[in-house]
Amino acid sequence: MPAIEQLVWGILLLPLISAAGITLFGLRRPRLAGVLSVGAAAGVAVLSLLVFTGTPFGEWWECSAEWLSVGELNVPVALRFDPLSLTMGLIVAWVSFVIHVYSLGYMRGDRGFGRYFAGLSLFLFSMLLIVLAGNLLVLFIGWELVGVSSYLLIGFWYQRPAAADASKKAFLLNRLGDFGFLVGLLLVWSKTGTVDISELECKLALDPGLLGSLATAAGLLIFCGVLGKSAQFPLHVWLPDAMEGPTPVSALIHAATMVAAGVYLLCRVFFLLALPGSAALELIAWVGAFTALLAAVIATQQDDIKRILAYSTLSQLGYMVMAVGASSVSQPPVAAMYHLSTHACFKALLFLGAGSVICAVHHEQNIWRMGALGKKMPVTFVTFLIAALALAGVPPLSGFFSKESILASVLESNVAARHALFAVAVAVAALTGFYMTRLVAVTFFGPERTQIAGQARESGMILTIPLLILAVPSAFAGFWGIDSAYASQFKGAAVEHAGVFGRIAAAFTHSPVATLWGLGAAIVGIVTGLAVYWNAATDRLPEKLGLVAGWARNRFYFDELYAALNEATHEFLSRLADGVDRWVISGIMVRGVHGSIELAGRLLRLTQTGNIQIHAVLLGAGIAILLLIVLRH
């Protein structure tokens, strides 16, 4: 495929050129920055579609360029195109294109307009590098780069202390996870001698015992990276704070793409996690389930519109991680990727809708200061409602299908306590319905609680058109056969459902128990939500639930716990470091080494007297010594 091979480098290069171009020339020229960045995103979207359609269904190919080659040391930049990366790439490209356009409107007039788009382009480049990497090392480079661009964009309004702190927190927690990932990578490298994904897969397929007893360790170390990037418990605390960034950034990076990269990585190296004798998957499933439940409970008691969505994202990511954990060789993680794809669309739409709302009410984010926005902002309301229903899992919207397939896969998995896992999943589904109903009911219905809510007006075209575009996949992606695209990646057979009704019917016939439970949970959640929050002036839940609601409101005190822990360790470490620094490093090593070297330098400098006779004598002496040494050998 020579023509396509030319195209794929364009996918990576366009955003990179845009990022470099804006940094060099566009920081003070907003128009140029916008054109470059949106142009690059549009180019990537078109190219990814071309490459997607140009690759025959279910096939895969690779292309690589040599970065450097010295003797036996070869470092190629390998890209891999298989159904997994192609579909994921397509979603990343299109969602980011839409959000790029939205950003043009949302960020208009900001002083850092150019800087914003440079960051966005850098992010797009690094995210595509992760998705297309055919080599774990290249993937890791992209992994670190998305961390950097996420840091830059969370702290975009760096004048606000909250944003600066949030970006630092996100970066540090991500680094913590990445360290584990790097160790895992080195472990795999040292055991198998390769970081190339295809080669690794071949080697492990030929000899599943290659990693030996370290299989679990390797899997869990790589999972550490996922803990950080996908914000799973116990590293989940950075994601809600990351909402300090501009809303389109929250939509793109902290909802649709970057945080999903963890799930993508798990699927990418699934063959490694699913090695016989590895217990990694079971633990992964429980970490995911716990995160999903925890975040869903917290989400019910948040008041900031973006934080509700952030906890919802956490919860859904936990759902996907749980789905990966519940998979096995015979039942590959198609459901997780399916949900990732639909979630990317409707969660991006929710965030963009929230952005539109926030703009309309003059940057107020507390939902209890809004209300009755549905009539004033019809486009935002309808698209937001579609996305919310999709998230709650109402048929025939896209979220219903992907959630159903996750529930089915959990129920059919061979994890020991699969019924407990399934119960958690159903509970999370009910909670999802509940908190989304709360969000919609309080924001768009009920009384106008403040004056600004009364004056709100629909946002301009540049904000609403992206909403409309994203509403299409949010509603209909369930009928596009995304799951069969992913299924062709793994050798598991995909069920072909024909037609709209065929698909809906298949959801019920394929695994009726899971579907009915899921649907029932969603209905229970929505009905409860309506009962509590329809026309509510204040939140009535705390009085009914008491302590639990208080805990949920305070995010189960994780931030405080971490802060205290951090302070204690920090205090101890700093005392230790101070002692070491003062006595060992500064006293003995630095002063000692520095002093002796400095002394040697000054002594040697005495030889340079500037006196030519002495120079000549030194030269002669040097030759004599040299002759002596050489001739004695």
Partner 1 sequence: MSGFSAIGLELAVVVGALAILMIGVCVSSERRSFLSYVAALFVGLVLLSSFLVSWPEKQAFFEGTYLVDGLALFFKRLFLVAAGFVLVMASGSSRETAIGVEFPVLVLIALAGMMFAASAGGFILLFVALELVTVTFYVLVAFARNTRRSLEAGVKFLIIGAVTSAFLVLGMAFVYGATGTMNFDELRVAPIDVGNKQLFDIGLVLVFVGVGFKLAAVPSQIWAPDVYEGAPAPVGAFLASGSKAVGLVLIVRVMNSTMLQGETLWAVLLAVSAVASILYGALCAIPQKDLKRLLGYSSIVTAGYLLIGLASGSEAGIGASLYYMTAYTFAALAVFTVVSIVFGASEPAEIVGLAGLYKRSPLLAVALTLSMISLAGIPPLAGFFGKFLLVKSAVGSAGLKTGLVVLIGVMVVGILISIYYYFGVIRAVYWVAPSKDGKSIIVTRSERVALIMLMVGLVWLGLFPGRLIRASSGAVGSIAPSRQAIAEVVKHDGERR
Nearer to partner 1, 70 or 547 (CB): 70
**Contact window for partner 1 (CB under 8 A) among 66-74, 175-183, 213-221, 493-501:** 66-74
Stretch that binds partner 1, among 161-169, 282-290, 499-507, 625-633 (CB under 8 A): 625-633
Q: How far is the CB of 73 from partner 1 (least distance, A)?
A: 8
Question: Which residue, 330 or 608, has its beta carbon nearer to partner 1?
Answer: 608
Following DSSP, what letter does each residue of 77-129 receive, concatenated? Answer: EEEEESHHHHHHHHHHHHHHHHHHHHHHHHTTT-TTHHHHHHHHHHHHHHHHH
Q: Which of 2, 3, 24, 71 binds partner 1 (CB under 8 A)?
A: 71
- Three state DSSP letters for 604-625: HHCCCCCCHHHHHHHHHHHHHH
Cβ density class 418-449: b for 16+ within 10 Å, e for less: beebbebbbbbbbbbbbbbbbbbbbbbbbebb
The least CB distance from residue 628 to partner 1, in Å, is 10
Among 279, 537, 568, 626, binds partner 1 (CB under 8 A): 626
| Contacts of partner 1 in 352-381 (CB under 8 A) | none
Least distance in angstroms from the C-beta of 611 to partner 1: 10
- Judged by CB under 8 A, which of 3, 24, 70, 416 binds partner 1? 70
Q: Which is nearer to partner 1, 575 or 615 (CB)?
A: 615
Can you tell me whether residue 74 is helix, strand or coil? strand
Q: Classify the C-alpha dihedral 592-594-600-603 as positive or negative.
A: negative
Both structure tokens of 592 = 């000692």
Identified binder of partner 1 from the candidate list 68, 493, 495, 498, rule CB under 8 A? 68
Q: Residue 633 interacts with partner 1 (CB under 8 A)?
A: yes
Quick one: 148 or 472, whose CB is closer to partner 1? 148
Total binding residues toward partner 1, as defined by CB under 8 A: 31
> Applying CB under 8 A, which part among 375-383, 401-409, 519-527, 622-630 lies near partner 1?
622-630
Residues 156, 246 contacting (CB under 8 angstroms): yes
* Side-chain-side CA neighbours of residue 540 (13 Å): 11
Which tokens belong to 406? 């996750």
Nearer to partner 1 by Cβ, of 493 and 604: the residue is 604
Query: Residue 585 or residue 621: which is nearer to partner 1 going by CB?
Result: 621
Identify which of residues 25 and 534 has a Cβ nearer to partner 1 in the complex. Answer: 25
Closer residue to partner 1, CB minimum distance, 6 or 596 = 596
**DSSP H or E stretch at residue 578:** helix 558-579
**Closest Cα to residue 67, out of 78, 77, 56, 58?**
77
Q: Which is nearer to partner 1, 206 or 630 (CB)?
A: 630
Lookup result for tokens 């219905």: 445
- Looking at the Cβ atoms of 72 and 543, the one nearer to partner 1 is 72
Per-position DSSP letters for 116-182, written without gaps between them: HHHHHHHHHHHHHHHHHBSBHHHHHHHHHHHHHHHHHHHTSSTTSHHHHHHHHHHHHHHHHHHHHHH
State the minimum distance, in angstroms, from the CB of residue 280 to partner 1: 34
Nearest to 93, CA basis, from 41, 131, 139 = 41
The C-alpha angle with vertex 610 and arms to 605 and 612, in degrees rounded to 5, equals: 125
**The one segment of 48-56, 421-429, 578-586, 624-632 that binds partner 1 by CB under 8 A:** 624-632
Quick one: which H or E segment has residue 407? helix 398-412
Q: 73-81 and 61-70 as β-strands: parallel, antiparallel, unpaired?
A: antiparallel
User: Pattern of binders to partner 1 over 575-614, x per CB under 8 A?
Assistant: ----------------------xx-xxx-xx-xx-x-x--
Residues binding partner 1 (CB under 8 A): 66, 68-71, 597-598, 600-602, 604-605, 607-608, 610, 612, 615-616, 618-623, 625-627, 629-631, 633
